[in-house]
Structure 1
Amino acid sequence: MNKLKVAIYCRLSEEDRNKESEDDDSNSIQNQKSMLNKYALEQGWEIFKVYSDDDYTGSDRRRPEFNNLLRDAKAQKFNIILCKTQSRFTRELELVEKYIHGLFPIWGIRFVSVVDNADTANKGNKKSRQINGLVNEWYLEDMSENIKSVLIDRRKNGFHIGAFALYGYKKDPDMKGHLIIDEEAAKVVREVFTLFSNGYGKTAIARILNERGIPNPTEYKRLHGLRFKAPKTRNSTLWSYYAIADMLINEIYIGNMVQGKYGSVSYKTKQNKPRPKSQWYIVEGTHEAIIDRELWDRVQLLIVQKAKPFTIGQIGLFARKTRCMYCGY
């Protein structure tokens, strides 16, 4: 008789992050693999493959090994999926119903989790699996709300909470949430504001910086080890009209912390949407300014003036809302 083939799935929990290096599996992952390998052997199952996602939450549907597991399950490459707990597979009740109670039985896949005794071969514990899914869903929602409240409080108090500092600044190693000037990039910021105040257009400024080989903010971060993904397009290292335009109206350059421009749609998705300015978190004087107030005010006045009124004294309907697809003006 052929042995049943089992796919082992492991995922790092948020609670235990104790890796020695970026490339090592965490102790949590190693422990899961050891436990599940032993359990599978005790049951007499043949281990088909170990799927392991490290540094991913249970609500992240983009987990690479999770999706590889689902593809192989659909192809019926194994008979059983084995996890430490049901929450390692997913914390979403929707996915519990879709896969564990829906598609897996259709594909002939048995789901087993060791610690919480979930086993689709046991019809009597379906309700407990659903309760586990509901509890895990509540956990996600509560954790999201707790994190959100902490972040809102820090924003209101002027602490920087982003993954990266704005171009021209860097994170203060001695004070969490505080920005200090990165003089190398700040020189470029000052030059951009000065050029614009002297009558240069945004496209012209971008061209000047590109001709001198000055990397744009994204490339600058990557070159300084802050981003590890290579640029995806040929021009992704170049300055653009939009990069200059965004820089010229960013109050962070005058020492004000501006955050909350975007907000998440739901705790279940990574998608963000723009928030109205009335809902932004703006705290004045949180860090040293790169641009002095006189230059800032002069630039803001020029930006307003460039939204040119018609001869009848009214601003055009599309002023500052549309741009030429070829030159960006």
Structure 2
Amino acid sequence: MIGVYYRLSLSDEDINEKKKESNSIANQRKTIQMFLETHPEWKHEEIEEYIDDGFTGTSMERPAFQRMMQDVRNNQIKTIIVKDFSRFARDYIEAGDYIERIFPFMGVRFISINDYYDSESTIEDNGMKNFEMVVKNIVNTAYSRDISAKISATDRTKQKQGLYLGGYRAYGFLPDPSDKHKVIVDPVAGKYVRMIFDLAIEGKNTKEIAVILNERGIPTAAKYQIEQKNVTKEQSCWKLKGESWTRETVLRILRNERYKGTYVAREIVQVTPCKKARMRNPEDKVVKIENAHDGIVTPEEYEQAIKVLRTATRRETKRKTKYYPLKGKVVCGYCGRHMVHFEQLKRGNHFRCRYGKNLPDGQCQELPVQDSVIEDMIRNSLSMHLFLFDKALDVLAAQEENILLKKSKLEKQQEALYQQMEDNSREKVKLYEQYSEGEVEKEVFINGREAFSEKDGEIRSAIQKIQEEKKKLIVSKKPDYEQMKQLKKDMDKAGSVLEVSMEIVESFVSEIRVYNQERIEIIWKYDDEILQILAQEKETMEVAI
């Protein structure tokens, strides 16, 4: 199957005098269709389109691109075609890594039409093209970073003037219909925010406020934005983790100075243009403008709520938590959130879902699950998991040895064919010299030349088949093998598996889903890989029998 990839970023939608051609999806599709029509060998191939509309090329985290790479890993895609390198990626390091290392390793052919690049061209043809590819990718990266820097400079100027630049407004605010750079109070969500501040002024702590909001059915910020269809792009949307109110979400609202009418911008900034890395700006560099818009509460009410909140927080019982090997691995099987580890004399050491009391009708009602129960389950299951792990390693080792033997045999065959090609060439030259000196007749020379050419074609065809076989061997290698071998060495140093240590947990446990004392699910690392390896080995043995 052929994968056709299209990408369009928002900055590519303009057309000016210097930019005659629009990089629209329609134009990309037309270019690639014309290219496919000139290659009749692909006439009956299945075509799968992958479209990232409105995504930057400086990041590989694009939904359609990731879907395409998953199809590549599943051996469904053997050829990828793009209009040009800039549609594939604008980061020259990542683009080069995919084109020169990842795709050849996966046995995928990559074609960039406008750049006249085909990864299956001969080394002589691709020598200069590889250099051109590097230069073009560097130019694409520099272009993106230059655009990003200019846009950032313009945004900073607007932010210092107190202008909103789009994106999500704070919960309780809406864009002003008469001026998109200003905000107005949301008549619905604004009442919810007002309620939160009123409850805080009354003396309620954040946990108590979260319980009240959940009982009254007040939608969280994430849920409300999606219900009101204020979300414009799927990739920018919350993952709907905010189904219920928590201490953290309440505290985030009470600390937000925007609710007292203050314009706040540049709290989080980009570390490097065109890169995903972000950092929190120092407080003195955050843009703040007092009384920039109508507030939901007055500055006095805001300060009063913060003051009462500090007092209420001090009254809360401090829960003593302890660093524990399973910490961060144990999640509630019902809500999916991480459970908290407690060390208590009455209840004993246990895990509990801290969100249980915030959900009036939820199944995770803070029921404690003892450490000993989880540890016993890990010990009982780990021995079998390690046995299967070792068996899978033995299978992979045998496969690795078999691959090396096959590769060595193919290389020897290839060397012999190259020698035959060289001998054939010498004989062909010798025949030509005999003909030039009149030692053989013209008819003998023509017949001999055709025979040598036919033999040369047969040798080249045989070499091509060997190269294809070698590619299949590379693809069949398991990329996790080296990592699994290293993990085995580390585990040998870790000691007995009877002790649930940090090394054991980090090496083998991906997640522990706790529903109650009787129902606990352990998600093991490499579980799918081990089962797949052993299943393939079983099939191989059955075929051999």
TM-score bracket for this pair, using the shorter chain length: 0.7 to 0.9
Verify: 1:249 aligned to 2:255, yes or no: yes
Offset of residue 308 of structure 1:
4.9
C-alpha distance 51-205 of structure 1, shift in aligned 2 (>3 A): closer
Question: Hey, what does 2:381 align to over in structure 1?
Answer: none
Verify: 1:142 aligned to 2:146, yes or no: yes
C-alpha distance 163-183 of structure 1, shift in aligned 2 (>3 A): same
Question: Hey, what does 2:135 align to over in structure 1?
Answer: 131
Offset of residue 44 of structure 1:
2.5
Offset of residue 192 of structure 1:
1.8
The answer as to whether partners of 1:6 and 1:40 remain within 8 angstroms in 2 is no
Letter in 2 for 1:261: E
C-alpha distance 65-293 of structure 1, shift in aligned 2 (>3 A): closer
SS in 1 for 2:180: coil
Question: Hey, what does 2:93 align to over in structure 1?
Answer: 94
The within-5 A match list for 1:137-216 is: 137-216=141-220
Offset of residue 271 of structure 1:
4.0
Pick from 3, 7, 10 the counterpart of residue 7 of structure 1: 3
Q: Deviations over 1:187-220 (max 9, x none)?
A: 2222222221122222212222221111122212
C-alpha distance 164-14 of structure 1, shift in aligned 2 (>3 A): closer
Offset of residue 163 of structure 1:
1.1
Offset of residue 186 of structure 1:
1.6
Higher relative contact order, structure no. (Cα contacts within 8 Å, ≥ 6 residues apart): 1
Question: Hey, what does 1:264 align to over in structure 2?
Answer: 270
Pick from 8, 22, 39 the counterpart of residue 43 of structure 1: 39
The answer as to whether partners of 2:57 and 2:91 remain within 8 angstroms in 1 is yes
Question: Hey, what does 1:62 align to over in structure 2?
Answer: 61
SS in 2 for 1:183: coil
Percent of matched pairs sharing the same residue: 28
Relative to the length of structure 2, the TM-score reads 0.50
Letter in 2 for 1:94: I
The answer as to whether partners of 1:6 and 1:79 remain within 8 angstroms in 2 is yes
Indicate the structure with greater helix content. 2
Question: Hey, what does 2:442 align to over in structure 1?
Answer: none
C-alpha distance 69-197 of structure 1, shift in aligned 2 (>3 A): closer
Query: Larger C-alpha radius of gyration, 1 or 2?
Result: 2
Offset of residue 137 of structure 1:
1.0
SS in 2 for 1:190: helix
Question: Hey, what does 1:113 align to over in structure 2?
Answer: 112
C-alpha distance 298-30 of structure 1, shift in aligned 2 (>3 A): same
**2-side partners of 1:14 and 1:198: how far apart?**
47
Letter in 1 for 2:117: A
SS in 2 for 1:70: helix
Pick from 299, 303, 319 the counterpart of residue 293 of structure 1: 299
C-alpha distance 116-326 of structure 1, shift in aligned 2 (>3 A): closer
Question: Hey, what does 1:312 align to over in structure 2?
Answer: none
Aligned residues: 303
**2-side partners of 1:106 and 1:296: how far apart?**
59
Structure 2 alignment gaps of length 5 or more: 15-21, 321-341, 343-352, 358-545
The answer as to whether partners of 2:222 and 2:238 remain within 8 angstroms in 1 is no
Q: Deviations over 1:150-185 (max 9, x none)?
A: 221222111122411111111112112201011222
C-alpha distance 199-70 of structure 1, shift in aligned 2 (>3 A): closer
**1-side partners of 2:227 and 2:36: how far apart?**
46
**2-side partners of 1:41 and 1:157: how far apart?**
54
Letter in 1 for 2:81: L
SS in 1 for 2:169: coil
**1-side partners of 2:252 and 2:60: how far apart?**
32
Offset of residue 239 of structure 1:
1.8
